[in-house]
Structures are given as C-alpha cells and as structure tokens.
Amino acid sequence: MAAQTNRSWLTDAVIYEIYPQSFQDSNGDGIGDLRGVIDRLDYIASLGVDAIWFNPCFESPFVDAGYDVSDYLRVAPRYGSNDDLIELVDKARERGIRIILDLVAGHTSIEHAWFQEELHASGPNPAGDRYIWRTDEPAAGWAEDIPGMPAWVASPGPRPGWYLKNFYDEQPALNFGWVNPEAGLGWRDAVDAPGPQRNRQAMQDILDFWLSKGVAGFRVDMAFSLVKDEGLFEGWIASAQIWQDIREWLDDAYPDAVLIPEGEEPRTGAPLAFDADFALVIHAPHASLFDNHGAGDLPWHTRMEPFFGAEGKGSTALFLDTWAMYREVDPQRRVLLASADHDFSRLRCGSRTPEQLGAAFTFLFTFGTVPSLYYGDEIGMRYLPGMPNVEGAVCNPLYNRAGARTPMQWDDSANAGFSTAAADALYLPIDPDPDRPTVAAQDGVPGSTLTLVRDLLALRRRTPALQGHAPTTVLHPGYPFVFRRGDDHLVVVNPRQASASFGTDEFAGWTPLFGQGVALTEGGIEADGFGYAIFARDHVTADDVTA
C-alpha cells in the first residue's frame, strides 16, 4: 500500500526559476554557481517564494545550456560539487524553501558514457541499446528537428549507421521503444524491449539518487516525447505510462516528491502521474497573455496580440479555454504559469514598461495558478535583443533565447554585482543601460517593482483565498479582467493604457487590500489604464486574513 503523500504544498506555492549560469558568480570565473545561490538565499526568501526551480545543473559540455547531460549524478564542476547542492538544499529548507531540479529525460549529451559505449561498439548492445540506431540510410526529409536540421545524424564513431537526435546533433535521443516496432524494419525496439527497460530503470535510479539527498522534486524536460511514434492521434499513451509507473514507485519510495512536466500531461484515462500542468511560455496559452514577440518567433508560433499589452487588442479566451481543459478531469488540478523562463522573452520585453508590470503580477499571483517567477523579473529586468549565441541560445535564426538569460542585476557595482570577472569573461553581457533596474536601487523603495512583488506575495501568503485552493470565477474576461477568488475576494486588472469599466453593482463598498487605479462604485468597476487592485468584502480586511 502506498504511503500517504504530502504534495499539497505545491497548490499554494510560488516557484522561483533560477538559470544558474546567470544568477550569482561566487568565484570570479564569470559564470553563476551554487555557492552564489547559497549566498543569496536570504534575498530569495525575502521575496516570499516557496521553491526554487533550477535549470539543469548536472555535468554537461553545455552545447544546449546544460540540457545535454553527460552525467546525471554529478553537479557540473563550474557550478560546484554535489556537496554544494546538498548544502543548498539544507540551507534553503531552513528558510522554508524547497529545491526542484530539471530532469532531461529524453536525451543525453554525446559525451555521456552511455553514448560513448554504443558509439564505439561494432553493433547493438546485447543488453539492449540505450539509444536509437539504424543502419539503413534515412530518406531525405524523413524528419526534421527544431533547428531545422535532419533528425538522423550519421555516426561519428566506429559504430555504423545513424542515431536519432532530439534537438541539436549533440543530443542523441534515449531509446524508450516504439508502439509499432515492426514499422522500423528491424531497428525499432518495442517499449518492453531490454534497451527501453534499461532506460526506464535509469530514470528511476536518477530520481532516487537526488531525492534521497533532500531534493523536493523535478521538472521534467520533454516528458512526453519518450516513445517516438506517438503523437496527436495516439495520445502519448505509452510515454504517459512510463511516468505512471514511476509515480507508483514514487508513492512508495518518496511520497512527498513532486513531478512537473514540460507542458501538459496527456489525458489517457489512467491516473495522472504529474502534479501539475505547465502552461508553457513558448506555447500559445501563455503567449496569448504576455508575448509581445520581442524575442522573435519559433516555427509553430502564430502571432497574436498579447492581452497584457498597452494597445488593449488581446484576449484571454485562449488561456481561459486551456485553463478549463487542464481542469476538466480534475477541477483542483494545479496549473503552473510563469512570468517568463529561460526559453522565452522576459515579461518586460520590447516596449513594455515597468508601469505595466503591476497588472501582470497581480494577475499572475492571484488567479489560482502555481506562479513561477523568473529570476530578475521581480525587478523588471529587460529582455535584451541582439545577445550573442551562447550555449545554443539561438535555436532558430528568428528566435534568440540569450536575451532572457543575462546576468542578474544586483547593484551599481562592476558587472551589476553579478561577478568580479572581467566584463568580457561573463557568461553573457550585462544590460548596458545605465538606468538598468537593480535589487539595491529598488530594495525597500515604495512603488518599485521589487516592493510590489514582495507586497503581493506577502498578501497572498496571509490570504488563503488568493492562493491555489479557492475557486476562481471569471466575471469579465475582457478589459478590465475581473475575477473572484472564493466568495470574499475580487481581483481587477486593466493591462491596457486606456481606462476600462465593467458594469456591476455587486462589489460596491468592498474593501481595497492592494493596488492602484481601480474604483468600485454602485455603477460598476472603473479601472484606469494599467490599473490593478485586490478587494475583500466589508467584513474581510487585511487585518482579518490568516497570518
């Protein structure tokens, strides 16, 4: 019988995503590291977040910023050591913060020992290949991957043939089998073949290794691309089954461990294995809210006006439809929504100004999602166009991820306090604007973006109705966006520059708890341009909510 789980903390949590290369450099080599994060834990705790999500910090040649892992069980030396990560887990826990790591489940680096062993073999491993190999030449145009290059790569070593990659050539796909192995003319393994079974066990062993050291869980990269002949019509049933089996093991071995997928979990009719869906910033539901296309476009993007745009031409419909879809199977299903992330333009991108961030953060922290705050967004760091292609950041000629990965801006000292290295030795350049936002310039300053974020998260923490458990009822999906949390709290955001109103007398006299530029009258709700506010019924005040 499975142990009782205690993953409910995620429902009310706020996550802080740290791109470790760019947060804080403690040793002067120009690259952020775990010791730097340890040194900044008091700052992170001051934000009011509950968990830190790290992008991959395992050993890697960093062709794709660490998403090409060469050893899952060793911290990359540039970040420190396994002991540093364990110390970080312990010191974060002392401050009430959990650590979530990024697991790259579908591929490794070509430098991983698994791949090197198969590359230098004369043929298939008798114990089962960990990777997907073929000896017949793939047809031209058989498949392409995101960078626009063939999905099959000619073997660069003694082993004859080609291997299947997932993204860049240096990221060979792990073999989790095929639903229809006979279609492979001999080179496709069934999902229960020895190679796929070895990889399933390896993923479990990796989880076990880090969870035993106090890690709270994992965000899983490309979680549902494991079985390669699944897709829209097959429903990713076999890939989902892999995670359902892992969840069954976790419920016995680590019942408190959380799993968060990249994107949404397929609804297959079986119990859901992951603890949330992730409204990805590179996909349409999030893009319809925040994306002003300042970072460019990926091939599958359809340009749309963002709802949180000054022009007021956007819509919440796509996001709300997706929210409803996520929660159709389980009305209490957790949904992660991020301000930005390592693959996407920051919230402050292009012409978006700090004045516009209040409405966005008020929505993000009160709608009922599990908010993920990307490092630096709390001070309004800018997406920087034209950044150099570092560690595969330019994954498409029209899309540059580096502008969202620049170093954290702490103060007005050299390199904005990120590193003592020479400027030309930094992982990425610092924002050159002399008026760039910094923590030091905003700390404790009324009206600053940092103060707004801290105040919002403090209100959220002491107000259960603004967290994840209370129901969310959308009252007006346009401008202003109006929704109720539970029975006693109302949120109004108007992200456009022009004022907006909503006719209703239901909330006249409710008590303002937070915000500016919104009035409740007997005639309705009046919101100034870029206005945002949170209200409570007359009998609920800021002093009455749970401390």
Q: Are residues 485 and 336 in the same domain?
A: no
Q: Is residue 68 part of a domain?
A: yes
> ∠378-383-388 over CA atoms, to 5°?
135
Same structural domain, 512 and 453 = no
Q: Are strands 217-221 and 98-104 parallel, antiparallel or unpaired?
A: parallel
Indicate whether 152 and 12 sit together in one domain.
Answer: no
Q: First CA to last CA across the chain, in angstroms?
A: 37
In a domain, 265, yes or no: no
Q: pLDDT tens, position by position, for the chain (547 residues)?
A: 344 468 999 999 999 999 999 999 999 999 999 999 999 999 999 999 999 999 999 999 999 999 999 999 999 999 999 999 999 999 999 999 999 999 999 999 999 999 999 999 999 999 999 999 999 988 765 555 444 456 999 999 999 999 999 999 999 999 999 998 987 778 999 999 999 999 999 999 999 999 999 999 999 998 998 998 887 556 799 999 999 999 999 999 999 999 999 999 999 999 999 999 999 887 888 888 999 888 888 777 778 899 999 999 999 999 999 999 999 989 999 999 999 999 989 999 999 999 999 999 999 999 999 999 999 999 999 999 999 999 999 988 888 999 999 999 999 999 999 999 999 999 999 999 999 999 999 999 999 999 999 999 999 999 999 999 999 999 999 999 999 999 999 999 999 999 999 999 999 999 999 999 999 999 999 999 999 999 999 765 545 544 3
List the structure tokens of 199: 């990889």
In angstroms, the Cα distances linking 271 to 27, 103, 241, 266, 495 are: 46, 22, 10, 10, 38
Last residue of a domain, one of 428, 458, 488: 458
Closest CA to 149 of 159, 157, 137, 141: 141
**Per-residue confidence (pLDDT) for residue 143, from 0 to 100:** 53
| Dihedral of the alpha carbons of 341, 344, 346, 352, in degrees to the nearest 10 | -150
The CATH number linked to 489 is 2.60.40.1180
Residue 546's pLDDT is what? 40
pTM of the model: 0.95
Q: Which of 205, 327, 291 is nearest to 254 (CA)?
A: 205
Neighbouring-strand partners of residue 514 = 534
Domain boundary among 134, 149, 173: 173
Task: Report residue 397 as tokens.
Answer: 């000629």
- Look at residues 458, 493, 517 and tell me which one is the last residue of a structural domain: 458
pLDDT value for 232: 57
Residues 392 and 366 in one domain: yes
Whether residues 424 and 483 fall in one domain: no
CATH of the domain at 406: 3.20.20.80
| Strand ordering across the sheet containing 217-221 | 258-261, 217-221, 98-104, 51-54, 15-18, 370-374, 335-338, 277-279
78 plus 138 within the same structural domain? no
- CATH number of the CATH domain containing 124: 3.90.400.10
My answer on whether 309 and 168 are in the same domain is no
Number of domains in the chain: 3
Single-letter residue type at 248: E
Nearest to 148 by CA among 438, 500, 489, 396: 396
180 inside domain: no
Residue 394 and residue 451 in one domain = yes
- The distance from CA 306 to its chain's CA centroid, rounded to whole angstroms, is 19
What distance in Å separates the CA atoms of residue 352 and residue 382, rounded to the nearest whole number?
A: 9
3-class DSSP state of 188 = coil
- Predicted local confidence at residue 148, as pLDDT: 47
Which residues constitute the domain of residue 449? Answer: 8-104+276-458
**What Cα–Cα distance (Å) separates residue 177 from each residue in 131, 196, 197, 317, 407?**
10, 5, 9, 38, 40
Pair (317, 447) in one structural domain:
yes
Same structural domain, 358 and 392: yes
Please check whether residue 16 is in contact with residue 373, taking contact to mean a CB–CB distance below 8 angstroms. Answer: yes
Say if residues 238 and 177 touch (Cβ distance below 8 Å): yes
Examine the domain organization and report whether 48 and 20 are in the same domain.
yes
Do 307 and 412 have their domain in common? yes
Distance CA 283, CA 8 (A): 27
